[in-house]
Amino acid sequence: MFDRFMPREGKFFDLFNAHAELIVAGGRELAAMMNEISDSAATAEGHAKVIDGIETRADKITHETVALLHRTFITPLDRDDIHQLISKMDDILDLIQDVAESIVLYDVRKVTQEALQLTEIAQSCCERVKSVVALLHNMEHAQSILKTCREIDQLESDADRVMRSAVSKLFRNEPDVRQLIKFKGIYEMLETVTDRCEDVANIIEGIVLENS
């Protein structure tokens, strides 16, 4: 009888999906920021402010998920998996915010082709995180989930390759040490966005293999 009065599954999947929507929004806003950088610092600052707002909304969802986890007796997934998943999802947006803030702080007025390429890969990773999270509620989607996880893994490998090549090019061709430091940091943060997306994919892959 006691069990009847205890919360059971809660709305964990709704919260995951809402957070994933914000990850995509943050990735798109970062891509817009990169493509619209100009001599006007206000342009970058405007995009960074939007990303700050997105990250704040995502933080609220993360806190709501953790609070719900503490109140829920029976969860749809392993409790540790739920906590790890929402935490790693939040890490993605934290890094997107870090990139945007760095661009403003470094007063970047022109981006390299490599930075644009890494941003595009990061955005693709974010899109796939949203797709795979949307499938998680039903283990009948196991094969599609695992396929998308593999795509995220491949994108992370692509980003790693681009980042290594970009840093090598910087050290060979960039005479301005300040520019070298700026872009090396930006490249590394963009690549780390894909690392955090891969972390999410690995957690989801583990959930699927354990439950399907």
Question: Which residue ranges make up each domain of the chain?
Answer: 2-211
Q: Which residues of 103-126 are buried (b: 16+ CB within 10 A; e: fewer)?
A: bbebebeebbebbebbbbbbbbbb
| 7 pLDDT more than 70 | no
pLDDT at 82: 95
**Residue reference for tokens 């082709």:** 113
Q: What is the mean pLDDT of residues 125-150?
A: 95
pLDDT confidence of residue 42: 76
Q: Are 79 and 68 in contact (CB under 8 A)?
A: no
On the question of pLDDT at 3 being above 70, the answer is no
Mean pLDDT of 6-32: 88
The answer, yes or no, to whether residue 112 has pLDDT greater than 50, is yes
Q: Using the 8-state DSSP alphabet, how is residue 110 labeled?
A: S
Section 152-180 average pLDDT: 96
pTM: 0.92
- Of the CA atoms within 13 Å of residue 76, those in its CB half-sphere come to 16
Tokens of 25: 């929004």
Q: Give how far Cα 139 sits from Cα of 78, 133, 152, 207, 208, Å.
A: 14, 12, 19, 9, 7
Indicate the burial class of 85 (C-beta count within 10 angstroms; 0-12, 13-18, 19 or more): buried
pLDDT in tens, 126-135: 999 999 999 9
Task: Tell me which CATH code domain 2-211 carries.
Answer: 1.20.58.220
Higher-confidence position of 75 and 159? 159
Residue 124 has pLDDT above 70, yes or no: yes
Which of 93, 85, 110, 82 shows the shortest CA–CA distance to 50?
A: 93
Mean pLDDT calculated for residue range 138-165? 96
- CB neighbours (10 Å) of residue 196? 24
Rounded mean pLDDT, 105-120: 93
